Amino acid sequence: GNSVTQMEGPVTLSEEAFLTINCTYTATGYPSLFWYVQYPGEGLQLLLKATKADDKGSNKGFEATYRKETTSFHLEKGSVQVSDSAVYFCALRGPPSNTGKLIFGQGTTLQVKP
Amino acid sequence: GAVVSQHPSWVICKSGTSVKIECRSLDFQATTMFWYRQFPKQSLMLMATSNEGSKATYEQGVEKDKFLINHASLTLSTLTVTSAHPEDSSFYICSARGQDIIISDTQYFGPGTRLTVL
């Protein structure tokens, strides 16, 4: 079945450091891929998405590229801020896409220190 | 943007009682709503998918008689935890997908409801 694996956290970085959170997936067909962020005390928010191979999703300085050859969708940011501290979830939506079902990774906690 | 609310945000109840959690799409019509459960420091587990006006589809291992889901309108879905027990204590999150073609590709999540059963 479909699944998502994320690197275990917590990830602790200093402000302005480079961030990578690894995400790999297993899926049949061509899934859509997502990164969601959950700030403390809040619900999940869509951060970025990519719907086909080689697509790059980007938002708020974060980027992720849909790599079908390595079945990966790693999240990157060139310079993190304290306000980026949150839990990040990688997710996929496999075909048939009309079901809308999302499969989530286990989440990676990011802590950014000033 | 699309906003989803949940009520209550937290609830404490005694073992054996039933608890109802509401999920509302505030500024769009949600053809499909999803209910998730999240344990501490773990991922979201999909419990069920509900489409307006029809019965919910439950994931394997989720007791449909214990977790009653009603999606009576395009803006409201409810999850009722019946005869709650301490092991039902968890963070329950809903999400909604709209019927508008622009937003139908994305799920919008509510802030979650923390349930504690004593």
Instruction: Name the residue among B5, B62, B61, B63 with its Cα closest to residue B33.
Output: B5
Work out whether strand A108-113 and strand A11-14 pair parallel, antiparallel, or are unpaired: parallel
- Mutate which: B43, B46, B95, vs A, most A CBs within 10 A: B43
For residue A80, which amino acid is it? V
B54: tokens are: 């029809």
Picking from B43, B93, B97, the nearest residue to A105 by CB comes out as B43
Instruction: Give the amino acid at B76.
Output: L
Token look-up 């937003």 returns B103
User: How confident is the model over A23-69, as pLDDT tens digits?
Assistant: 999 988 888 999 999 998 788 899 999 999 999 999 999 999 999 99
pLDDT tens digits, A59-108: 999 999 999 999 999 999 999 999 999 999 999 987 655 566 888 999 99
- What integer pLDDT is reported at residue A112 of this predicted model? 97
Residues 6+ apart with CB under 8 A from B73: B52
Identify the pLDDT of residue A78: 97
Q: How close A17 comes to chain B (CA, Å)?
A: 24
- Say how far apart CA B83 and CA B7 lie, in whole Å: 19
